[in-house]
Structure 1
């Protein structure tokens, strides 16, 4: 139901193997997708995927630090140069709107499409992106205002009661199709109600994508009934204690302990300090998390894709 493509998994600065923050989220029923954060170089990463800027429905910026937003302007400009006409929703701190307006004026940037800006601080109810997908925001704790985004898909699946149809000898074809669409039909002089032949099941998944945050416990309520948490894991606990509280980031241990406390089934760690970008160092973060977390754990990599199915099961693809 939801597909996640990591466009950048480094914190602060890019490295040879990891770009700075960017995550594409696509509802697998269609080509529409959402971008969460747009660090410098995000549009280059997008070009390495099957995603297009024409199908981008919304951009969510978790906070104003450059490794999460410096790629926004170039991406918006490229969308316009590629002929985009549809309105694009931008959910972000109000400072992003001011920065965008100033940059457009000073660099003579013209966008041939409208940007519908939503100040993330004012969100008090889920925002409907399409008929089945909503986004809500949750406040975090960082050096600047930072937010997590909860992405939820609720979709209904209609299934014909084939046994009941066959029992009445109703032939396949238009009559079955009409019932599937909720239309009543006439058969042997009787009106058959569609609701008597269609079984409706509701499928629902929920993922939380966090911005920078040194208090994972702030997501306790957001993670209720969540199938997946994607959270920064900038340091090991040992390194975090050495660098001190000023950076206001989380360690792998902190996120793992929180995830275990709320019985979260799936966890993806990302936003790794450049000191951990080789396989041996990433393994240290992974081992630290596994010591405290018994659910399914993944370590994010640039261009790695994950799918969350209707049963809430996560897999790498």
Structure 2
């Protein structure tokens, strides 16, 4: 399963109730987690969760705009102050690496752990971060190069062929336990090989997290195997029509229509303009989504948590 914690859901600037963009995605089988974007003060938001910078395995930066990356260097420094030693992968535009390296040189920043930078353009091919987690980048459309990231968790487990063992008359207990642990056993004068009675099952969970983007349709191919799309919805369509195309953001209508066309089972919207963050603004966005999308959707708030299980079902975590 993948577990999502929204650390920032405002676009452009922080507000009293929302910080700028950051999303934590944890592998529910262990403590490994990935951070997508690190707006200013992201490390402060992390301190209000159960996430540890020691277990952070990768940071993905969607694009170079400050509301998506200005918290990165402080977070890296704090991880060093907390004696992190394990390498950390950063998938980002090459300008992010240049910025980090220049800042480190000019401010005497010392990191006691190695950074592994991957140019986001090279991440259009899947990058295996851990045995179970991989990341793939997808190009979007914005005022600067922007990307979405497929976060894919693949779980492999083995089950005994109970039917075959029962037909042979192999009794439950130690014999079954040994076979499941990969040990061959002797039964009725024959050697039963563990490999012959273990069935391998693989389950994959696929979520897409988009950066700023005014063309959701660019994610058409990526969505073919995805169960969840997390996408910016900066404006309602009425507001976007008034603001014009120059900010290069999506409206709720645009994302909802795309999600419906792709038959996506679940959708989470985030990155809301401050003008849409009060109750009326959020209701307007929700009404617009409901009109054009008939699936399971949420408007994310800071610290909202969701789980995408191994069957591809999304549910919101009740924190009370």
Aligned-residue offset at 1:280: 2.1
Partner of 1:275: 275
User: Matched residues in 2 for 1:209 and 1:75: separation?
Assistant: 21
**Structure 1: runs of 5 or more not aligned:** none
Partner of 1:107: 107
Q: Secondary structure at the match of 2:75?
A: helix
Partner of 1:61: 61
Matched, 1:73 2:67: no
Aligned-residue offset at 1:106: 1.0
Partner of 2:171: 170
Matched, 1:288 2:288: yes
Partner of 2:52: 52
User: Matched residues in 2 for 1:130 and 1:185: separation?
Assistant: 33
User: Matched residues in 2 for 1:124 and 1:48: separation?
Assistant: 33
Most deviating of 237-246 and 278-287: 278-287
Partner of 1:193: 193
Matched, 1:31 2:12: no
Aligned 8 A contact 2:124 2:138 in 1: no
Partner of 1:86: 86
The number of equivalent residue pairs is 316
User: Matched residues in 2 for 1:26 and 1:124: separation?
Assistant: 22
What does the per-residue CA deviation read over 1:94-146, in whole Å, with 9 as the maximum and x for residues that have no partner? 00001001111111100000000000012242000111211000000000000
User: Matched residues in 2 for 1:188 and 1:308: separation?
Assistant: 46
User: Matched residues in 1 for 2:81 and 2:161: separation?
Assistant: 50
Aligned-residue offset at 1:189: 2.1
Q: Secondary structure at the match of 1:23?
A: strand
User: Matched residues in 1 for 2:126 and 2:170: separation?
Assistant: 45
Q: Secondary structure at the match of 2:23?
A: strand
Most deviating of 222-231 and 182-191: 182-191
Q: Secondary structure at the match of 1:111?
A: coil
Partner of 2:4: 4
What does the per-residue CA deviation read over 1:156-189, in whole Å, with 9 as the maximum and x for residues that have no partner? 222223454455243413x333321333222232
Partner of 2:118: 118
User: Matched residues in 2 for 1:202 and 1:58: separation?
Assistant: 23
User: Matched residues in 1 for 2:88 and 2:178: separation?
Assistant: 36
Partner of 2:129: 129
User: Matched residues in 1 for 2:295 and 2:2: separation?
Assistant: 19
Superposition TM-score, scaled by structure 1 size: 0.97
Aligned-residue offset at 1:49: 0.8
User: Matched residues in 1 for 2:62 and 2:245: separation?
Assistant: 20
Residues 297 and 124 (structure 1), Cα distance of their counterparts in 2 relative to 1, 3 Å cut: closer
Aligned-residue offset at 1:81: 0.3
Partner of 1:148: 148
Most deviating of 131-140 and 153-162: 153-162
Map residues 229-268 of structure 1 onto 2, 5 A cutoff: 229-268=229-268
User: Matched residues in 2 for 1:185 and 1:96: separation?
Assistant: 56
What does the per-residue CA deviation read over 1:240-272, in whole Å, with 9 as the maximum and x for residues that have no partner? 011111100000000000111111110000000
Aligned 8 A contact 2:4 2:23 in 1: yes
Aligned-residue offset at 1:155: 1.4
Aligned 8 A contact 2:22 2:39 in 1: yes
User: Matched residues in 1 for 2:202 and 2:269: separation?
Assistant: 29
User: Matched residues in 2 for 1:263 and 1:231: separation?
Assistant: 15
Q: Secondary structure at the match of 1:214?
A: coil
Most deviating of 286-295 and 187-196: 187-196
